[in-house]
Amino acid sequence: MFMGRYNYIMAVFTAILVIMQLPLHGYPEKAECVRKTIMVGATSRSYLAYRPVGAVAGKPLPLVIVLHGMNGNGLVMSMFSGFNELAEKNSFIVLYPDAYGPLWNDGRVDMDSISFRTGVDDVQFIMQLVDSMVAASEVDPKRVYVTGFSNGGMMAMRIAIAASDRIAAVASVAGLMPKHLSLVRPGRMMPFLLIHGTEDRTVPWGGGVLMREKRKRGEVLSVLDTVSCWVRNNGCTSQVSVKILPNRETSDRTVSFLVAYGCPDPDNEVLLVSIQGGGHTWPGAEKCLPEKNAGRISRDFNASRFIWDFFSRHRLP
């Protein structure tokens, strides 16, 4: 029942956003998302791209790849995340790729999805996009970042592990480390940020086997174990500093804490934003599912701005 209503809401929401966004073609004088496709092997894959106004041809810009969650798409992600406005103000390019089917092949091997069953290589898809933009001198290869929501956050971690020499930093919102993916380590230290709500009912704080419509959706680590994977990889310690973020909107009934781990090199920082009372949401998003479905959304900070501030501090050596 829940998923039927969820899918209906998402379908209506997506249709409205499509109408709002059309047409999606070329890089116009006024910047907007551009719909494009790329062949990955024999499969055509789609994505949206946002290039800020005033970007100079031949002058590479940073790239932020933003991955949607289950049953989402790049268009929905571009609308509720607000990354386009950030890209305009801070001069970076944003890509919003579309999964093959409702889910990214994010490293969970104990779930039923078309992307997993057919062996879709989403890492190849994303890195092929990066390669094409680097080759066209659009993107600075030392400043490529990846983030995502829920299933998209899990996929972001898979990309960062598989292509650690190409990704400068990674951030996940409401997405935890797939259990089997945790057995693989990145080839280098990787700056990492996790934003997660303590009352997330879809991807629970304590991890475990995820269920949807009485079907298993794979097993993930807990929040603390997810962070610990990156803490160990980056040579950090379990010593932490905790800072309460300003409670700018008391009516949202959430309080957020920034936890910074003891990393000897700030270039390899590991951060956790714990949202006390927060649900399966993107903090600060303009549009979101009703609280009765997704849980509380924090209005105390904007996740996209927080992520960009984090990304902007890092680049590949």
Residues 125-166: pLDDT tens digits?
999 999 999 999 999 999 999 999 999 999 999 999 999 999
The larger pLDDT score, comparing residue 119 to residue 15, is at: 119
CATH architecture, domain defined by 2-193+221-238+305-311: 3-Layer(aba) Sandwich (3.40)
- Examine the pLDDT at 11 and tell me if it is beyond 60: no
**In the block, residue with structure tokens 């992520």:** 307
Beta-sheet strand order (sheet of 34-40): 34-40, 43-50, 93-97, 61-67, 139-149, 169-173, 192-197, 270-276, 255-262, 237-244
Look up residue 62 and give its two tokens. 């940073």
Q: What angle do CA 315, 307, 169 make, to 5 degrees?
A: 30
Express each pLDDT in 164-205 by its tens digit. Answer: 999 999 999 999 999 999 999 999 999 999 999 999 999 999
- 114: helix, strand or coil: helix
Split at pLDDT 50, 70, 90, the class of 31 is low
Distance of CA 199 to the CA centre of its chain: 19
Among the ranges given (30-34, 47-51, 298-302), the one the predictor scored with the smallest mean pLDDT: 30-34
Check residues 292 and 59 and name the one with the higher pLDDT: 59
Q: Look at residues 190, 185, 137, 129 and name the one whose alpha carbon lies nearest to residue 162.
A: 185
Q: Where are the domains of the chain?
A: 2-193+221-238+305-311
262: Cβ contacts below 8 Å, ≥ 6 apart: 236, 237, 238, 239, 240, 241
* pLDDT score at 297: 94
In 10 A of CB 9, how many CB atoms? 14
